[in-house]
Amino acid sequence: MRKNIVAGNWKMNLDLNQGIQLFNEIQELLKVELSGEQEVIVCAPSIHLSSLAKSLEGSSKLSIGAQNCHQADSGAYTGEISASMIASSGAEYVIIGHSERRLYFSESNELLAQKLDVVLKNGLFPIFCIGETLEQRNGGTYFDVIKEQISEASFHLDGANYSKLILAYEPVWAIGTGLTASPEQAQEIHLFIRTLLAEKYGQTLADNTTILYGGSCNPKNAAELFAQADIDGGLIGGASLKARDFVDIIKALN
């Protein structure tokens, strides 16, 4: 079932105390102010996950996610974190394929395919990111790039597994730059993604897949983006580090 979701990606920000404080502030605001059907996910640094899970109140509309995991089940990979560890922390989601992982950690579509497998095998839900660079947008190859990222990393999955994915379109040129994709630009790609899903898995799965927009989304531009037919919510970086801004973005999704 297609859902309305806003997910925060804290990236490598906030120490544990700051993280718990922000999480509790978000939770308090949501309790009072959230009346709609939105679901909210906070993707925190892995080392914070179990503490956040303990702060989570039963009735909360919040869930917790990680920002990455290793592709192997377990083993001699010093410093890495497995999907089963993330699941045991109380998190339910994992961001896979964020452009910062692709760029700074050389994560390929082939590697991301393995990561999607291990995340699903461990009962977690992937938030799978795709998006083109400024060069690719200006060069006019962005549809090809998006198609390649999606097909190479995720089209090996069967429909039952695919239905567990949340997709996030994050144009690299819009991340942390203050340059938001216009609602029309974002909608064009979201519709394109849904069309690719329909061709591969059928219209029902495509219609039921949640596709988030990410990239300089803030309380001012969120409503217009979320109003687009194929935009089902947002993946929020900088603005998710302030409880007021994050909750205002969530409230813009109705």
Interacting residues with ligand 13P (CB under 6 A): 9, 98, 170, 175-176, 214-217, 235-239
Helical pair 183-201 and 142-154, crossing angle rounded to 10 deg: 40
Asked if 57 is an active-site residue, the reply is: no
- How far is it, in rounded angstroms, from Cα 242 to Cα 249? 11
Q: Which is nearer to ligand 13P, 214 or 233 (CB)?
A: 214
Q: Are 83 and 94 in contact (CB under 8 A)?
A: yes
**Catalytic-labelled residue, pool 39, 107, 132, 170:** 170
Q: Which two tokens stand for residue 127?
A: 């938030």
For the bound state, the minimum distance from the C-beta of residue 9 to ligand 13P, rounded and expressed in Å, comes to 4
Q: Which is nearer to ligand 13P, 201 or 238 (CB)?
A: 238
For the bound state, the minimum distance from the C-beta of residue 124 to ligand 13P, rounded and expressed in Å, comes to 17
Query: Which strand (E) or helix (H) includes residue 210?
Result: none
For the bound state, the minimum distance from the C-beta of residue 234 to ligand 13P, rounded and expressed in Å, comes to 8
Asked if 156 is an active-site residue, the reply is: no
User: What are the start-end ranges of the H helices in 134-242?
Assistant: 134-138, 142-154, 159-162, 183-201, 203-208, 222-226
For the bound state, the minimum distance from the C-beta of residue 216 to ligand 13P, rounded and expressed in Å, comes to 4
Q: Which is nearer to ligand 13P, 190 or 201 (CB)?
A: 190
- How far is it, in rounded angstroms, from Cα 243 to Cα 241? 6
Q: Which is nearer to ligand 13P, 19 or 237 (CB)?
A: 237
Q: Which residue has the tokens 């109140």?
A: 57
Residue nearest ligand 13P by beta-carbon distance: 237
Q: Which is nearer to ligand 13P, 27 or 216 (CB)?
A: 216
**Catalytic-labelled residue, pool 48, 70, 98, 190:** 98
Comparing CA positions, the residue from 150, 156, 163, 161 lying closest to residue 208 is: 163
Comparing CA positions, the residue from 8, 50, 13, 11 lying closest to residue 27 is: 8
End-to-end CA distance of the chain: give it in Å, rounded. Answer: 16
Which letter does DSSP use for residue 176 in this model? Answer: T
For the bound state, the minimum distance from the C-beta of residue 254 to ligand 13P, rounded and expressed in Å, comes to 20
Q: Which two tokens stand for residue 51?
A: 């503490």
Catalytic residues: 98, 170
